[in-house]
C-alpha cells in the first residue's frame, strides 16, 4: 500500500477508503451453472489456513482465482485438506470436500465493510506442495463458470453492427464449425443497445465465442454472466450481456508517488507498421483478393505525439497472406484491424496500486505526474488482485489510448 494513502477519489466524485484488507470465500452447492445456488461461508478454521488469495482477469482470457492454503496440522502432524485417509471414499472427510475439483466458489475481495464479488468460479486444479523445509501447502486454482462454453474457435467479421446485436446473434446461432454460435439465448439491455453506435467493422480473430463476447463486453464496461430461471419444473439458462448495476464503469485517476505505487511504461517503435496489405484468393473467380489499410485512412487514428514518433521512424509495410478472407471487404477490414491493434501497442505499461476491487480489465485509468510523453488515459487489458501478508494490492497492464490533456 502506498505510504499515507487512506482515501482515493474516483471520477464520479465518490471517495474510497483503504484500512483493513479482507476477503471472503463462500461454497456453493447444487447446479454448477446456477446463479442463485445456495452458498455457505467457508468455515473460520479453514479461512485461517488461507495464506494468500488472488484473482486475475483479462480482455482475452477467462478470469480465474488462486488460493494458497496451509495443508499441515502441526499439532497432529498430519495433512489437513489433501493427503487425508479415505480422501477418495464415497463419503470423504469434510476437510477433503472443501476444495474438491469441480466445487463452485464465490470470491469476495476488498476491505472490512466493503467487500466486492470478484467472481463465481469452479475449482479446476489442485497443486499440493511438499517442500524440503517448511509446511506443506495447497494451491487451489479455478476459472469462471463461463470456461465451460469454450468449444470452437472462429474467425468472423460483422459490418455496421453494434456489440449488443452481435451478442444476441452469437447466442441465437447454433454451435457449429462454420460461424460463431453458443446455442443459448443472450439477454441484452435495450437502453444500452440504443446508446451504442454501429461500428464499420468488428473482427473476431480465431477466438472462442465466449472469450470474444467477454472481450467486447469489457471494452464497454459491460458484464457477461450466466443466469438461470426455473419455470414449470424446467431449468432455463441464458447469458446476460450489458451494463451491471453492481459494477459501474469507474475511471480512477492515479498519480505516481501517491496512489500509484509503481508504474513502468514502454514506448516501442521497432515493430510499427504504416501499411498492411491482406491477400487472399477467390476460388470462384480465380482472382486475387486484396485489402489495404494505411495511416490516414478513415477510422485509423493515433495520439498526436505517437503519430510524430511513428512518422519519424517511417513504419514498415506488412503483408498478410495466411488469414482466410473471402471478399475484398473482409480483407480491408482485417488489414484495418491489424494496423489499429499495432498502433495501440506503441505505449504499454505495467502498474501497481493499492487494492481496488473495481479496477478490472476494460476499465480506464488516468495516469499523471509522469511527464507529457506518458501522462494520459490508459486502457486496462488485465489485472491481478492479491490479498496476503503484505495487504491488498492490484497490479495491471494497460495501453495508452489518449495522451495527457487530450479530450
Q: Which residues in the chain are classed under CATH 2.40.10.10?
A: 18-148
Half-sphere exposure in the Cβ direction for 289 (13 Å, CA): 23
Domain with CATH 3.55.50 in the chain: 150-242
Note the pLDDT tens digit of each residue in 63-93.
999 999 999 999 999 999 999 999 988 888 9
Is residue 407's pLDDT more than 70?
Answer: no
CATH topology of domain 18-148: Thrombin, subunit H (2.40.10)
Give CA–CA dist 98/121, Å, rounded: 14
CATH 3.40.50 for domain 150-242: no
Q: Is the distance from CB of 102 to CB of 32 less than 8 angstroms?
A: yes
Nearest alpha-carbon partner for 8 in 226, 212, 230, 250? 250
Backbone region of residue 83 per phi and psi (left: phi > 0; alpha: psi in -120 to 50; beta: other values): left
For the cut 70, the answer to whether the pLDDT of residue 289 exceeds it is yes
- What topology does CATH give the domain 251-267+347-403? Elongation Factor Tu (Ef-tu); domain 3 (2.40.30)
Instruction: Record the pTM.
Output: 0.78
Locate CATH 2.40.30.150 in the chain.
251-267+347-403
Question: Residue 137: helix, strand or coil by DSSP?
Answer: strand
Bridge pairing between strands 114-129 and 104-111: antiparallel
Q: What angle do CA 119, 148, 203 make, to 5 degrees?
A: 90
CA distance linking residue 273 with residue 179, whole number of Å: 30
Confidence of residue 2 (pLDDT cuts 50, 70, 90): very low
Q: Which residue has the higher pLDDT, 130 or 269?
A: 130
Which residues are CB-neighbours of 209 under 8 A, at least 6 positions away? 149, 151, 152, 154, 170, 180, 181, 182
Amino acid at each position: 500500500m502506498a505510504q499515507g494513502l487512506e482515501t482515493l477519489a474516483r471520477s464520479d466524485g465518490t471517495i474510497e477508503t483503504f484500512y483493513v484488507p479482507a476477503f471472503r470465500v463462500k461454497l456453493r452447492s447444487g447446479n454448477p451453472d446456477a446463479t442463485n445456488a445456495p452458498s455457505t461461508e467457508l468455515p473460520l478454521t479453514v479461512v485461517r489456513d488461507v495464506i494468500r488469495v488472488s484473482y486475475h482477469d483479462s480482455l482475452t482470457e477467462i478470469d480465474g482465482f488462486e488460493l494458497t492454503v496451509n495443508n499441515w496440522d502441526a499439532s497432529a502432524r498430519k495433512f489437513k485438506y489433501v493427503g487425508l485417509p479415505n480422501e477418495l471414499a464415497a463419503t470423504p472427510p469434510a476437510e477433503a470436500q472443501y476444495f474438491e475439483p469441480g466445487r463452485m466458489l464465490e470470491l469476495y475481495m476488498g476491505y472490512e465493510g466493503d467487500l466486492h464479488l470478484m467472481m463465481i468460479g469452479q475449482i479446476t486444479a489442485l497443486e499440493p506442495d511438499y517442500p524440503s523445509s517448511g509446511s506443506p501447502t495447497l494451491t487451489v486454482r479455478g476459472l469462471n463458470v463461463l470456461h465451460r462454453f469454450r468449444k470452437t474457435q472462429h474467425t468472423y467479421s460483422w459490418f455496421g453492427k453494434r456489440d449488443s446485436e452481435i451478442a444476441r446473434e452469437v447466442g441465437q446461432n447454433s454451435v457449429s464449425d462454420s460461424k460463431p454460435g453458443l446455442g443459448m439465448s443472450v439477454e441484452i439491455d435495450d437502453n444500452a443497445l440504443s446508446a451504442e453506435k454501429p461500428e464499420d467493422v468488428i473482427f473476431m480473430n480465431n477466438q472462442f465465442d465466449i472469450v470474444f463476447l467477454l472481450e467486447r463486453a469489457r471494452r464497454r464496461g459491460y458484464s457477461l454472466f450466466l443466469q438461470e430461471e426455473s419455470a414449470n419444473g424446467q431449468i432455463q439458462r441464458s447469458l446476460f450481456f450489458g451494463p451491471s448495476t453492481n459494477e459501474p464503469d469507474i475511471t480512477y485517476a492515479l498519480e505516481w508517488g501517491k496512489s500509484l505505487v509503481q508504474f513502468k511504461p514502454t514506448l516501442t517503435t521497432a515493430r510499427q507498421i504504416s501499411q498492411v496489405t491482406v491477400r487472399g484468393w477467390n476460388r470462384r473467380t480465380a482472382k486475387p483478393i486484396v485489402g489495404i489499410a494505411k495511416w490516414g485512412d478513415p477510422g485509423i487514428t493515433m495520439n498526436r505525439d505517437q503519430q510524430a514518433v511513428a512518422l519519424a521512424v517511417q513504419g514498415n509495410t506488412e503483408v498478410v497472406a495466411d488469414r482466410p478472407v473471402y471478399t475484398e471487404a473482409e480483407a480491408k477490414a482485417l488489414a484495418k484491424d491489424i494496423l489499429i491493434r499495432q498502433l495501440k501497442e506503441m505505449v504499454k505499461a505495467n502498474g501497481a496500486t493499492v487494492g481496488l476491487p473495481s479496477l478490472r480489465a476494460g476499465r480506464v485509468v488516468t495516469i499523471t505526474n509522469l511527464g507529457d510523453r506518458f501522462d494520459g488515459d490508459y486502457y486496462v487489458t488485465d489485472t491481478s488482485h492479491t490479498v496476503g501478508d503484505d495487504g491488498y494490492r492490484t497490479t495491471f497492464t494497460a495501453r495508452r489510448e489518449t495522451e495527457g490533456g487530450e479530450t
